[in-house]
Amino acid sequence: MPKSLMLLSAALLAAIPAEAREDRRPTSISITVDTSIAEHTLSLVCSQREVNERQIRSSPLVQAQIEHNRGLVAAATMDAYVEGLRALSACRAPSEGEDVFRVGAILADPELFRRKVDGLRARQSELASSVADRLTSYVPAGTQFQRAVILAVPYFSCGGFERGEYFYIDVQCLAADIDDDFAALEVLVAHETFHALQARTFFPAPIDAGEIGDVNTGLQYHFGTMLREGTATYVAGTSALLDVPSAGAFTRLGQSFGRENAARLGENFRLLTILFGYAAASPVGQERARAEAVEDLAFDGGSFQEFGYYVGARIAADIEQVWGREALVCVMQLPPEQFILAHEAAVAAEELRLGAEAIDAARSVALARSGVHGFERCHPTLGGDRQ
Ligand SMILES: [Zn+2]
């Protein structure tokens, strides 16, 4: 843009009230890679330096990580973290039973960890633009989002996790050559980033089983999970991962989930229908227990490879294919039962769809809700009144 025009548009922008201007800014999704924890940890290796305990314990990044870790492994406390760093500095590998944060693996080959961190740092702008490209057209126009992806070293699990405003990637289980897992990493960061965007823009639904008090809230919990995980799986480009030739273990894990779910997608739709019907028919007092059972089967990686994610991803893909991306983005912002009802309306009867028990359950939740939230508003020839 010529400079005079830029000045003119700056002057025009200044004349528009801030609230109205919000929508006119182009959507911006900005990701940076934060290597500070990883670099600090790796600098300690065999240094014999004193660990700055106060600094570690007061770091909000470390605190948030430990909060998440303790939910997975009770022994993963701040004390254990500090002990792990001391062992690193002293060049002393803890015995296996005591190595909660697996610092032994770092001591065994610190160069490997340094190479991975360097590899990620070198490709951070590529990672950022790939994630932004995937997500920009799936969020409301004008969305402004900025977030750092923190490289977690030491850590003991695989993949990524979110805690509060932070997002972490475990470096340990990524391939020695970061290129081998880069495609899966792009999907992971896009998926988790989309969750953060959903938290700002999606209609609120219970996200904790503790919020379930009756059948209605139990169903909202499941529909909300399917909507969030299904759309994140879809917009992150998870299905394209299947075509990536890769030697990385993390990539291969993602590919095996995708392949197995694709091979039994019809059964996945039927099983999810049965599970939603089971939640809808819960006797009084058992709503939460049933919800947790459904959660374990449908959305947990340990049983059927998070099959509920892939049903939700197919539903999102179908709505976009039949009604267009703008309509999908609109449907996603509605209460989660509308996602199911919109799919029922969009695809032909012979296509893959959730069965009658699931549709009835979605209708009952929609009926009990006050306000007008019908998906019809998202489609010009159904409701038309798009806002
Ligand atoms: Zn997710």
| Domain ranges for the chain | 22-201, 209-378
Find the 222 Cα to ligand 1 centroid distance in Å.
Answer: 14
Distance 1 CA to ligand 1 centre (A): 39
pTM: 0.85
- Provide the pairing of β-strand 28-34 with 144-152: parallel
Cα 296 to middle of ligand 1, angstroms: 14
For tokens 């805690």, what's the residue?
A: 163
The per-residue pLDDT string of the chain (387 residues; one tens digit each, 9 = 90 and over) reads 444 444 444 444 444 454 444 557 899 999 999 999 999 999 999 999 999 999 999 999 999 999 988 888 999 999 999 999 999 999 999 998 899 999 999 999 999 999 999 999 999 999 999 999 999 999 999 999 999 999 999 998 777 888 777 889 988 888 889 999 999 999 999 999 999 999 889 999 988 888 999 999 999 999 999 999 999 999 999 998 998 887 788 899 889 999 999 999 999 999 999 999 999 999 999 999 999 999 999 998 777 899 999 999 999 999 999 999 999 999 999 999 999 999 999 999 889 999 999 999 999 999 999 888 899 999 877 765 444
CA of 315 to the centre of ligand 1 (A): 16
Which helix (H) or strand (E) is 169 found in, with range? Answer: strand 166-170
Q: Which is it for the CA torsion 173, 178, 179, 182, positive or negative?
A: positive
**Rounded to whole angstroms, how far apart are CA atoms 267 and 297?**
13
User: How far, in Å, is the centroid of ligand 1 from the Cα of 179?
Assistant: 23
DSSP state for residue 179 in the 8-state scheme? G
How many Å apart are CA 249 and CA 246, to the nearest integer?
Answer: 8
The rounded Å distance from CA 21 to ligand 1 centre is 32
How many angstroms separate the alpha carbon of residue 60 from the centre of ligand 1?
23
127, two tokens: 């990672």
Q: Which residues surround ligand 1, an ion (CB under 5 A)?
A: 229, 232
CA of 192 to the centre of ligand 1 (A): 6
Cα separation, 13 vs 8, whole angstroms = 9
Please report where in the chains the tokens 């999908």 appear, as a residue: 328
